[in-house]
Amino acid sequence: MSVVQSDRLITIEEFSRMPADGKCRELVRGRVIEMNPPKLRHGQVCSKIGRIYGNAADDSELGHVVTNDTGIITQRDPDTLRGADVAFYSYSKIPRGPLPEDYPSAPPEVVFEVLSPSDQWSKVHGKVSEYLEVGVSVVCVVEPKTETVHVYRPDQAAKELKGNDELVLPEFSAEFRISIKQFFD
């Protein structure tokens, strides 16, 4: 990750007007951070999670599942906008129909972050904390290398799941469950 140098902090609104030039970026405390595009395995795991939860959300009419580093506001003044690999917004947070063009003010209920080989756990934990502090109910950090999922909720110890362990997210659906290995097949 590299910081794009600027003498002044910028807002989410200014960040959203930056030209799309194919670079991956987040806004962290008013500063633009550039990241390398994810590699193939990362994209495969993100796609699988998005399909699994997207299909379940559509089939059960639960809400919206978004992917591709969709922006989530985690702080204002200075502004921070994080890109979630996969996120779920219930219809109670964002009504049915086409989604708005802007970044939503409401946080999603569920966020999935898929680790890249270059990710540092200290920075990942910081991002998880930001999501939880802004009101995300559960953050799942997916680690393709070890085929594990770390589940974080406010005021609870993190849980590590792997293999045939089932991921149950009542924040998504009380009935829906999936074995961890399905993310990595």
- Is there a domain that residue 4 lies in? no
Say how many Å lie between the first and final Cα of the chain, rounded: 29
> Which residues does residue 149 pair with via DSSP β-bridges, in sequence order?
142, 161
- Is there a domain that residue 86 lies in? yes
- State which residues form the domain around 109: 37-183
> Which residues does residue 27 pair with via DSSP β-bridges, in sequence order?
32, 81
**Which residue type sits at 179?**
S
**pLDDT for 110-140, tens place per residue?**
999 999 888 889 999 999 999 999 999 999 9
**CA–CA dist 143, 145 (Å, integer):** 6
- Is there a domain that residue 178 lies in? yes
**pLDDT for 65-93, tens place per residue?**
999 989 999 999 999 999 999 999 999 99
Q: How many domains does the chain have?
A: 1
**CA–CA dist 117, 106 (Å, integer):** 30
Is residue 78 reached through a cis peptide bond, with omega within 30 degrees of 0 on the bond before it?
A: yes
What's the CATH number where 172 sits? 3.90.1570.10
- Is there a domain that residue 27 lies in? no
- Is there a domain that residue 129 lies in? yes
Measured between alpha carbons, how far is residue 72 from residues 7, 79, 103, 107, 160 in Å? 24, 11, 7, 7, 24
- Is there a domain that residue 102 lies in? yes
User: What's the pTM?
Assistant: 0.92
